[in-house]
Amino acid sequence: MKKVLVLYSSVRGHTARVSRRICESIDAAGGSADMMEVTEAVHEGVDWGRYDVVVLGAPVIYGNYDKAFMEFVRRHKAELDSKPNSFFNLSVVARTPAKATVEGNRYMQKFLQLSPWKPKDLKVIAGKVNYPAWRWYDVIMIQLIMKMTQGPTDRHTVIDYTDWADVDAYGRHVLELA
């Protein structure tokens, strides 16, 4: 049985939900998956030898990746390179088809430019707008961004742009990387 580790960073919980779904898809396809938040991995360590494939995922927040996540990638480049691996990002801009591709998603391109680790496999996943769950200043900032990109601006809006069937397919795909 192929064993997959899904490491993720999550700010508002949606990346954790996507990571859990990836694990469920891997398990349903006959593999075995564990998930671990990057902060936990930093504090507890990772037994890299237990896994055949490693997947990392992170959200894009205001055009950037979490600094602790990027530091984890830098620190563990050798371990990541030693195994079949994949990286996925989540961003609300990926709600449009042109920005839902690796080539068309500027934040994926930014990751590839900034990261010393060059993942063997890449995936862009559309995120979620959840104004009621956000702090007031996040609402204002996201509303400004949405206004510029013709997205929803009503502060009561909750829209999950994630294609869950595609997330399931991605889980099966990463299992095949081993």
Cα–Cα distance measured from residue 177 to residue 2, given in angstroms and rounded to the nearest whole number? 10
pLDDT at 142 over 90: no
Q: Of how many residues is the chain composed?
A: 178
**Residue 138's pLDDT band (cuts 50, 70, 90):** confident
Mean pLDDT over the full length of the chain: 95
**Model confidence at 128: pLDDT above 90:** yes
- For the entire predicted model, the pTM comes to 0.94
134 closest CA partner among 156, 112, 117: 156
The confidence score (pLDDT) of residue 36 equals 98
> Tens digit of pLDDT for each residue in 99-113?
999 999 999 999 999
Q: Measured between alpha carbons, how far is 105 from 47 in angstroms, rounded to an integer?
A: 32
Distances (CA, A) of 8 to 49, 79, 151: 18, 16, 26
Query: Hey, is 63 helix, strand or coil?
Result: coil
pLDDT in tens, 28-72: 999 999 999 999 999 999 999 999 999 999 999 988 999 999 999
Q: How far apart are CA 29 and CA 9, in angstroms?
A: 24
Tokens (6 digits) for 6: 């899904």
**CATH topology assigned to domain 3-127+162-175:** Rossmann fold (3.40.50)
pLDDT exceeds cutoff 90 at 23: yes
The CATH 3.40.50.360 portion of the chain extends over 3-127+162-175
pLDDT at 146 over 90: no
What confidence score (pLDDT) does residue 48 get?
98
The per-residue pLDDT for 108 is: 97
pLDDT in the model for residue 62 = 86
Mean pLDDT value of segment 81-108 = 96
DSSP 8-state code for residue 82: T
Question: In angstroms, how far is the first alpha carbon of the chain from the final one?
Answer: 10
Q: How far apart (Å, rounded) are the C-alpha atoms in residues 39 and 48?
A: 16
Can you say whether the dihedral through the CA atoms of 25, 26, 31, 36 is positive or negative? negative
- Greatest CA separation found in the chain? 48
